[in-house]
């Protein structure tokens, strides 16, 4: 029976990944693994997110003192800051983050080896992994200031 299973059995699909930010495919063993705190503490990241075509109207509305724009930006912040899993990111976006690239690369290798099962220390929502003051500073920038220089 084992011979028939090996001949006709389902083959395991290879583990694949795409950058959670740019959506570009990442080859096995490559990329960087970040925590949500690593991601949301980047002002460059928030400037990019709040000025994407899908969010630009909320940013324009916010800076015109429209509360609905501010409310939507707050919801966008909540969406990203509450991610519980680590973020696999590509070479093209890693420059947005102030992280130890060697450590993030090593963590990505561990993540690949475990087929996505590895989680670095301090993985989880930013509100639980950052101190309160840092989290509030990050939130203030993301919601109230990000993208201002692009309007």
Per-residue pLDDT reduced to its tens digit, 15-30: 999 999 999 999 999 9
**What is residue 94's predicted lDDT score, i.e. its pLDDT?**
98
> Residue 13 pLDDT more than 90?
no
Total-model pTM: 0.89
What gap in Å lies between CA 123 and CA 34, rounded to an integer? 8
Please name every residue paired with 26 in a beta bridge, in sequence order, or none if there are none: 17
Radius of gyration of the chain measured on its C-alpha atoms? 19
Contacts 24+ apart (CB under 8 A), 18-24: 18/88, 19/88, 19/89, 19/90, 19/92, 19/93, 20/87, 20/88, 20/89, 21/45, 21/87, 21/89, 21/90, 21/93, 22/89, 22/90, 22/92, 22/93, 24/90, 24/92
- Encode pLDDT of 66-124 as tens digits: 999 999 999 999 999 999 999 999 999 999 999 999 999 999 999 999 999 999 999 99
What gap in Å lies between CA 51 and CA 59, rounded to an integer? 7
> Residue 47 pLDDT more than 90?
yes
pLDDT range class, residue 3, cuts 50, 70, 90? low
Answer yes or no: are the C-beta atoms of 139 and 45 closer than 8 Å.
no
Q: Helix, strand or coil for residue 26?
A: strand
């Amino acid at each position: 029976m084992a011979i028939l299973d090996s001949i006709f059995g389902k083959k395991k699909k290879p583990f694949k990944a795409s950058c959670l930010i740019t959506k570009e495919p990442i080859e096995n063993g490559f990329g960087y693994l970040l925590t949500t705190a690593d991601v949301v503490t980047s002002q460059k990241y928030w400037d990019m997110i709040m000025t994407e075509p899908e969010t630009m109207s909320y940013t324009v509305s916010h800076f015109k003192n429209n509360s609905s724009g501010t409310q939507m930006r707050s919801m966008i912040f909540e969406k990203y800051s509450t991610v519980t899993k680590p973020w696999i990111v590509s070479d093209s976006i890693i420059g947005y983050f102030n992280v130890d690239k060697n450590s993030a690369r090593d963590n990505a290798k561990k993540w690949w080896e475990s087929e996505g099962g590895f989680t670095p220390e301090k993985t989880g929502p930013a509100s639980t992994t950052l101190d309160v003051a840092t989290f509030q500073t990050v939130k203030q920038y993301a919601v109230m200031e990000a993208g201002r220089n692009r309007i």
